[in-house]
Amino acid sequence: MRPLARTYDFLKPACWVMAVCVVALLGWIFAEIVRQAWPAVQGVGLGKLITDDWIPSRGQFGLMTFLVGTAVSSLVALLFAFPLGVSMAIFLSEDFLPLPARQVVRFTVEMLAAIPSVIYGLWGIFVVIPMVRNLGDFVAGTPLGKIPIFTGPSFGNSVLAASLVLALMILPTITAISRSALVAVPHTLREGSYALGATRWESIFKVILPAAAPGIVAATILALGRAMGETMAVAMLIGNSPRLVASVFAPGGTLASVIANEFGEATGMKLSTLMFAALLLVALTLFVNAAGEFVLRRTQHATKGVY
């Protein structure tokens, strides 16, 4: 027992050191980004940085277009991926098919997470962009075409094209974590629901899903964070336009895509502005995680109160 106790005495400070190193590394990264971005705040001005005028040749470095594009493309992707991911999680956690068939589907979904983002971008160029272009031409001839969010002309490279590929990229995250949350629900809750006369689907929607809600919320937060930070596939599909438009069929841009496209040639104030864009992206991600953590805690508290 004594050597084991000595091992524990060694591991405790080691864990503390590693935890402090992680926090210090995050602080170092954040401080370096702030240091590089500060000249843009002083030279351009915070008010001018949060505008939709991105014309570097004229000294105009407004990032509002890319900030809005990041939020819109991520939320649209989540709108597609969330119901599909949760549905697949229910399918994989419940006995709708024999175990071998469910394992094949599970393996296929998890393999999507291993595909490099540039491959998603290439697939989007040859498959999603023509599909979105045809969809936009069709919608333009319907009453939906008069709604600003669906107005034409239809471009292949667009916010919708990037969002569809993003939805596919975050689908494994939502599915895998939601499935783990559903599997972790105690069988006694299922059995009690069936004993009270509930049908299978009533048990799923009224008992199992509410009990697994904290895990599903966590899956949604992680998926949204990945969608906001995705770079290569979005840069290949979104069109990289600095114009702020309402239609999802029009080209747009994100903070990550403008950094990827412009950073290699950036110098001086433009470089500092791109670092400020990186700072905005970090702040946006932290805000989403903080909001998600708040919702997660509230959901866990509500679940404990019911169950």
pLDDT of 13 reads 81
Q: Are 255 and 233 in contact (CB under 8 A)?
A: no
Interior CA angle at 121 toward 117 and 123, to 5°? 115
Strand partners, 61: 54
**Which one has a higher pLDDT value, 50 or 122?**
122
SS3 state of residue 205:
helix
**How far is Cα 283 from Cα 229, in angstroms, rounded to an integer?**
12
Task: Name the CATH superfamily, with its identifier, for domain 44-306.
Answer: MetI-like (1.10.3720.10)
pLDDT of 20 reads 92
pLDDT of 303 reads 56
Sign, CA torsion 30/31/32/34: positive
63 CB contacts (<8 Å, ≥6 apart)?
49, 50, 51, 54, 255, 258, 273, 276, 277, 280
For 46-138, list the strands marked E by DSSP. 54-55, 60-61
Burial class (CB in 10 A: 0-12, 13-18, 19+), 27: exposed
Residues 266-277: tens digit of each pLDDT = 788 888 999 999
Residues 136-155: tens digit of each pLDDT = 888 888 888 888 888 877 77
Tell me the pTM.
Answer: 0.86
Query: What pLDDT band is residue 26 in, cutting at 50, 70 and 90?
Result: confident
pLDDT of 76 reads 94
Query: What pLDDT band is residue 203 in, cutting at 50, 70 and 90?
Result: confident
pLDDT of 199 reads 82
**How far is Cα 172 from Cα 158, in angstroms, rounded to an integer?**
23
SS3 state of residue 239:
strand
Report the phi/psi class of residue 152: left, alpha or beta, with left for phi > 0 and alpha for psi in -120 to 50. Answer: beta
| Mean predicted confidence (pLDDT) in 207-230 | 87
Query: What pLDDT band is residue 299 in, cutting at 50, 70 and 90?
Result: low
Q: How far is CA 212 from the centre of its chain?
A: 20
Q: Give me the chain's average pLDDT, please.
A: 85
